[in-house]
Each structure stands twice: as C-alpha cells, then as structure tokens.
C-alpha cells in the first residue's frame, strides 16, 4: 500500500511556491514541520539566489504547516493517493516566528489593525490567466465568447469542482478579453484566508490545466502589446461581524473609517506598487488606456483607477452594506499575495491612525481629471519611491526588505539587454 505524503510549502518574495514533501500525517502530528533555509527566500523568479541578501549560508528554519490550508490534488496515477498540500509558516528552530516570513508579515498586519481599531478586512483576489495547449496551439474563440468557454469546458468544470470541494466558493469562471485569457473569482473571506486561497488557487489552476493538456500562465503580459493578466484585490472593512465600509450619502458612499483607510493606500501608493507589481514587465501593463491602473486616485466604477469603488446592484435582495467593496487594481501574479494584502492592510492602518481624508473622488475618465497622480513609469521608479517612504519600509523586517530589493536588482540584471518581447517571454516561462 502506498504511503501518503504531503507537500509543505511557502510562497516566496517572487510569488513562487516552494517546499518539501514528508510522510502524512506524521508531518502534521509532530508540530515540527520540515527543514528549510533562510536563503531560500532570496531566490529570484528565474531560480538563482540573489547575491545581495541578508542570509548567506547561515541559519536553519522549519516550515510548519497550517492544517486549515489543506488542498488535495488528484494523482496523475490512479494507483497513487491524492497529494496533500499545506501552506506553512517559516519558523525559527525554537518554534518562534521568523520575522522575514511573508505569511508572518500578513498575520502581524492583521493583528495590528485588529488591536488598534478592532477592524477586520474581508478580501477576495480576482485572477486572470492565459491558457494554451501544451503543444503550443492557442485557444480559439471570441473575447467573452461561448465558443472559448466550450473549448476548455472540461478544464473549467474540473477547476470549479476542486475549488468548491475545498470551500473556496467560486463565483465565476469566464473567458476574458484577451486571446486564451480566462478569469476565475471566488467569494470574499477574512484576510489571511483570502491570501492563502490566492496562493492555492494559482497552483490548483496550473495543476488542473496540466491534467487536460493545457498550460496556464499568470504572467502580467504575454507580449508587450497583449492584454494583461491582473490580480484585482477587493477589500471591505468589518467590525464584530458587520461591514463598516458603506455609508449612504457620504462621498463615494464611503464611511469615515473607510475613507481614512483607503486614503492611506493612496498616500503610499507610489511605494506600494513596487511590492504589488514587482516584475520587470509589470509596469508595461500599468499605463493609461490598458484597463489596469492608469493613475493613482479613487474613482467610481472606473477600471483605470488605482482604487475603484465597485458598483452596487440595488435589488430588494441586495444588502448594500454587506457587499460594498473597493477594488485595488495594481497587482499581478509576480507579487506574493501575503505581501500584497499585508501591505494594503498596513497602509489602511496608517490612514486610520492619521485620520487621512480623501480630497477627490473621480467621476470621469482619468485623462479628463485634474486630481490624478501618475503611476510610477517603471519598477525602478517605484523602488525609488519605496526607498524614500520610511513609513512603508517600517512595516517590513529589515532582512526581508533587503532581500526583496536584492532580488529585484538581480532580475533587472538578468533582463538587461533584452527587448520587451523577450522580457515577457522569460516571465511567461516561469509564471
């Protein structure tokens, strides 16, 4: 009889999932997890360890799995049991939290917001990805077309079944605007669960695609002029089980606390985007007229604003306060969901602490608006803003931040001399 094994994983600073396998259920029962190395955090998107990291060859860690994150992946061989998969926290060998662990980062951000303001964040990540056949053929069909949906229907049904079985509450699966592009959305959840699910969902999509002779890519762009794959993060604020985001009649229908919180994101946005869109091709997508994030502002139902006030469907059955949310649009799958959401929560905590107002809510096309700050033109520009924003820097463990910046320098060196088309192709190959 085959021994069941489990894969114990973390998501690193370039949003790759890495880990080790061990016998199940022993790996959960022991509480000690599996061995890990600090320098593993310094791996670039393309595999090498960035030289400018804080760890070198020193140190040992443990990957300690969280049983609540379990996902079961169907075996490719019917004689083998399913593969159990768990997300883990990186801990010191004495069991204490390792401060450079990305999952610990979001846990600390959640705890601070709760402690300071008794506020919880509900969130949901929308993922766009491109499918192609493993032999290189493209998916045909119209944008949003039924023919495109039918071409990959078996994959879609299997994907939704796995997500449903694991409690993700999938809401939609659809062909998107780009060639071979699809989107999957799931129900909102408390922040840590939402970020965990974002990581797990990508692995589920990739694994399910392989079982149907498909390859899935979450790269921000397949080519410089292609439709981009974004990760949109929907956010709402809650207290004691009730949403506190909505206040009818106020500007944008935002409550005072929601206004303060989202003003915090706007105030630090130029630095934050270095963390939420951190690849060498991310900023080819974050430009005007690309329906991504063409300017730093908050706007009503505008898909080029950094923050979009999502529309409310006013029916008798709709609870406006419960469903009201704001969408952050400048993230992609080269960013770690724990870091993306943890950083947005830290920015909201700062906005609440300073009672920041939102001066202008845009209600027009961005090119006609006067109160819009330009997005950084490149990752290098965003990293310069990060270097100047001491508040954002203070949210991070110094070793994590140093390593993050070192990785980005390493990737920039690897991309040096490549055309935008060649850069996109490199990222498509690993995302």
- List strand residue ranges (DSSP E) for 176-319, in order: 181-186, 189-190, 214-217, 231-239, 242-243, 295-300, 305-309
Q: Please tell me the pTM assigned to this model.
A: 0.94
Q: Which tokens sit at 399?
A: 């070793």
Whether residue 52 contacts residue 402, with contact meaning beta carbons closer than 8 Å, is answered with yes
Specify the 3-state DSSP secondary structure of 120: strand
pLDDT digit string, tens, across residues 338-383: 999 999 999 999 999 999 999 999 887 777 677 888 889 999 999 9
Nearest to 343 by CA among 393, 305, 387: 393
pLDDT given for residue 41 in this prediction? 94
When pLDDT is cut at 50, 70 and 90, the band that residue 276 belongs to is very high
Is the model's pLDDT at 145 over the cut of 60? yes
pLDDT at 45 exceeding the cut of 60: yes
Mean pLDDT, range 280-290, rounded to an integer: 85
Q: What local confidence, expressed as pLDDT, does residue 316 receive?
A: 56
pLDDT at 1: 44
The per-residue pLDDT for 259 is 98
d(CA 408, CA 56): 17
216's CB contacts (< 8 A; 6+ apart) are: 129, 130, 131, 205, 206, 209
CATH of 107-430, picked from 3.40.50.300, 2.170.140.10, 3.30.590.10, 1.10.10.200, is 3.30.590.10
Residue-level pLDDT at 177: 87
pLDDT over 90 (residue 391): yes
Chain position carrying tokens 């990957």: 63
Model pLDDT for residues 170-185, shown as the tens digit of each residue: 999 999 988 899 999 9
- Rounded distance between C-alpha atoms, residue 252 and residue 276, angstroms: 25
The CATH class that applies to domain 5-103 reads alpha beta
* pLDDT > 90 fraction of the chain, expressed in percent and rounded: 74
Provide CB contacts within 8 A for 76, sequence distance 6+: 211
* DSSP-assigned letter for residue 409: H
Q: Is residue 281 exposed (0-12), middle (13-18) or buried (19+ Cβ within 10 Å)?
A: buried
Enumerate the domain spans of the chain.
Answer: 5-103, 107-430
206-225 per-position pLDDT tens digit: 999 999 999 999 999 999 88
State the average pLDDT over residues 245-271.
96
**Nearest Cα residue to 299 out of 366, 243, 351, 237:** 366
Separation between Cα atoms, residue 423 and residue 109, nearest integer Å:
33
7-43 pLDDT, tens per residue? Answer: 999 999 999 999 999 998 998 888 889 999 999 999 9
């Amino acid at each position: 009889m085959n021994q069941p094994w489990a894969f114990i994983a973390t998501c690193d600073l370039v949003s790759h999932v890495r880990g080790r396998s061990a016998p199940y259920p022993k790996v959960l029962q022991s509480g000690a997890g599996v061995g890990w190395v600090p320098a593993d955090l310094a791996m670039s998107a393309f595999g090498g360890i960035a030289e400018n990291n804080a760890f070198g060859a020193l140190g040992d860690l443990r990957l300690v799995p969280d049983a609540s994150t379990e996902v079961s992946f169907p075996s490719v061989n019917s004689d083998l049991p399913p593969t159990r998969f768990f997300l883990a926290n990186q801990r010191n060998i004495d069991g204490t939290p390792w401060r450079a662990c990305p999952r610990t980062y979001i846990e600390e951000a959640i705890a601070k917001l709760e402690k300071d303001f008794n506020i919880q964040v509900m969130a949901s990540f929308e993922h766009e990805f491109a499918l192609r056949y493993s032999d290189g053929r493209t998916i045909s069909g119209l944008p949003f077309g039924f023919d495109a949906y039918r071409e990959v229907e078996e994959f879609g049904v299997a994907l939704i079944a796995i997500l449903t079985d694991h409690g993700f509450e999938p809401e939609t699966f659809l062909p998107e605007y780009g060639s071979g592009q699809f989107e999957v959305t799931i129900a909102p959840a408390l922040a840590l669960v939402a970020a965990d699910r974002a990581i797990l969902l990508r692995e589920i999509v990739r694994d399910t695609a392989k079982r149907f002779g498909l390859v899935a890519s979450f790269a921000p762009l397949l080519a410089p002029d292609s439709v981009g794959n974004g990760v949109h993060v929907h956010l709402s604020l809650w207290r004691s089980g009730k949403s506190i985001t909505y206040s009818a009649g106020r500007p944008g229908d935002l409550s005072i606390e929601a206004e303060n919180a989202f003003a915090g994101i706007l105030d630090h946005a130029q630095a934050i985007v270095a963390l939420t869109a951190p690849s060498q091709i991310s900023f080819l997508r974050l430009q005007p007229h690309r329906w991504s994030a063409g300017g730093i502002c908050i706007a009503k139902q505008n898909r080029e604003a950094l923050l979009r006030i999502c529309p409310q469907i006013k029916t008798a059955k709709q609870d406006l306060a419960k469903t009201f949310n704001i969408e952050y649009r400048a993230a992609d799958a080269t960013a770690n969901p724990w870091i993306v959401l943890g950083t947005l929560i830290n920015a909201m905590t700062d906005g609440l602490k300073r009672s920041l107002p939102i001066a202008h809510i845009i209600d027009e096309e961005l090119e006609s608006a006067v109160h819009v700050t330009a997005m950084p033109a490149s990752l290098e520009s965003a990293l310069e803003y990060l270097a100047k924003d001491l508040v954002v820097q203070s949210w991070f463990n110094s070793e994590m931040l140093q390593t993050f910046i070192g990785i980005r320098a390493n990737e920039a060196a690897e991309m040096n001399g490549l055309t935008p088309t060649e850069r996109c192709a490199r990222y498509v190959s690993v995302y």
